[in-house]
Chains A and B, each alone.
Chain A
């Protein structure tokens, strides 16, 4: 425990600022993954344990594209696209079979998929970790917030995350497609009776979720090296955020991600051994007090 370091952090803005930005950066990446997961659970009612491996695919594809062509911009397009393709294929071939199945089988299928995808990543990219450097555009002098340096890349991540989040929320609430998705979430039989191809909507939502996770992977790639097993590590945190924020809620996912980001970031300073424990305590508290999360629909 290192409470004094934690207090030092709070005493000055220049101490606070870098931690806050780190929190928000972590939060943005988690938000992108978790919002995809939350959408999939909210609309398709499937807890997709394989969602983490799509994130891993995003990171690895970014690494491949950048080391092959040197273009970060190209990776921005290719990585989420590949992730989306994998998601689309999984949905069409496998996930379709478990829409009506008991939860045990849903867990088993998505878990099996997680194992397969994770090992496929090992098969294709090997067992060692791969890393890419921060792209040149962002290697300029850092911006200064309250006297402390913020890397430019962090600003980029926060900007992209905020934009995507806003776009997601707007398209879900204002556009026709968004209304269809909401309708499919609440009463799929009804809209099927109205002539809408619900299967297509499901595929679309699943692919969207995968693309979001792939984008998160793309953004995260300069920050951490790609290691096999990343799929496993991020899926639990994503579920935590989904539960805290409320299933199907983008705003909830954002707030929950910020909470988790802050807990992780400040927790690492004050309690270096236990920061993940705080996150778990938070989700346990939520599940005990208010299981449907911040913006979720109350059960029963």
Chain B
């Protein structure tokens, strides 16, 4: 167990991410990798809510859009640096998340999920109707200014895909490290307690609502960073990103990749991007295929890829006679 979950794999991954553009000259690979990283952050942020706290939030796309538009608008209207714009977008999302979370955490289960959906649709309506600020349904096309970023002694010029890739790696991996720290902290363990038995956690004396509000805001911030990066990646902001359908993307990732592990949504993001590219190349009916996969996974293979692999690894180890502490609860 320790080996497969050890830092070793993370280091390998980071090294791989840093090295591969130098080895492969494929631009589409680079673009895909960038997209996967950004989407993975979105997925991981939602998994903080769904996988670790047990809160099914259907409106997470709102924070993504707030980050996206926040960053885009700040860069267009005020000439500030990109990191500051990203922080601005994240701040906007944090404020909205505070308000949304305050209203939503009063409810449970379906009503919670539906209120997040309804509130996110308000964000969508604001985005679509405030045409002077957001460009309405078309979004902010026409480019987002990207002054070079001076960070850690490097100057990243985002117009270069390579530079943008490395900037993304830096930002996303940094965010992942932060998220992992949060999840492994006592705060994170309390979230897991609330997922397993909210009433009992409340009885022990924990202010469940406050923690839920906290993780709601944290998740919103990381989603906003993902959104801001997307705006830079696509050189524009699109109203579609605030629609509740977009909010289903990270949920797919969490389902496909597995929600009980930290890396699950990352694998899910990779799978989703690959699926979309692959399916899109062959047929117009991508929703049909995606929906069918979703149905299949829920009906037959709920746990997702990473959880599945971990379980197989554990049963192998048991078979080999080694003592195993289950890391992933058995399916059910």
Binding site for B on A (CB under 8 A): 41, 47, 94, 97-98, 101, 103-105, 107-109, 111-116, 118-120, 122-123, 232, 236, 239-240, 243, 273-274, 276-277, 280-281, 283-284, 287-288, 291, 299
Contact = CB atoms under 8 A, between A and B. Distances in A.
Contacts of A109: 294-295, 298-299
Contacts of B286: 119
Given A108-B294, A119-B291, A97 B122 contact: no
Given A107-B56, A107-B113, A284-B115, A116 B121 contact: no
- Nearest 8 interchain pairs by C-beta: A115-B291, A112-B294, A119-B288, A116-B291, A112-B295, A112-B291, A119-B287, A115-B287
Given A103-B109, A119-B287, 11 more contacts: A47-B114, A109-B294, A109-B299, A111-B291, A115-B291, A116-B292, A119-B288, A236-B117, A239-B114, A280-B118, A287-B114
Contacts of A114: 291
B58 A107 contact: yes
A277 B126 CA distance: 9
B249 to A, nearest CB: 11
Given A118-B287, A119-B288, A291 B125 contact: no
B103 A116 contact: no
B106 A111 contact: no
Interface in B118-140: 118-119, 121-122, 125, 129
A122 B291 CA distance: 14
Given A115-B294, A116-B295, A287-B114, A105 B302 contact: yes
Contacts of A288: 103, 106
Contacts of A291: 106-107, 111
Interface of B: 50, 56, 58, 103, 106-111, 113-115, 117-119, 121-122, 125, 129, 244-245, 248, 251, 255, 284-288, 290-295, 297-299, 302
Contact of B121 (A104, A107, A123, A236): A236
B288 A105 contact: no
A84 B298 CA distance: 23
A98 B251 CA distance: 17
B53 to A, nearest CB: 12
A123 B288 CA distance: 9
* B interface, over-half SS: helix
A120 to B, nearest CB: 7
A104 B291 contact: no
B292 A112 contact: yes
Nearest to B128: A273
B56 A103 contact: yes
Contacts, number: 108
Nearest to B297: A108
A188 to B, nearest CB: 18
B51 to A, nearest CB: 9
A284 B122 contact: yes
Contacts of A118: 287
Nearest to A118: B287
Contacts of B50: 104
Given A104-B50, A105-B298, A232-B245, A116 B288 contact: yes
A122 B298 contact: no
A296 B255 CA distance: 32
A287 B109 contact: no
A116 B292 CA distance: 6
Contacts of B290: 112, 115
Given A283-B118, A284-B103, A236 B288 contact: no
A139 to B, nearest CB: 35
A147 B292 CA distance: 53
A68 B119 CA distance: 43
Contacts of B121: 236, 280
Contacts of A123: 285, 288
Contacts of B288: 115-116, 119-120, 123
A113 B295 CA distance: 7
A103 B255 CA distance: 13
A1 B300 CA distance: 51
A182 to B, nearest CB: 20
A243 B111 contact: yes
Residue of A112, A243, A273 with most partner-chain B CB within 10 A: A112
A281 B251 CA distance: 25
Contacts of B285: 119, 122-123
Contacts of B114: 47, 239, 243, 287
A275 B110 CA distance: 25
Contact of A284 (B118, B291, B293, B297): B118
A214 to B, nearest CB: 20
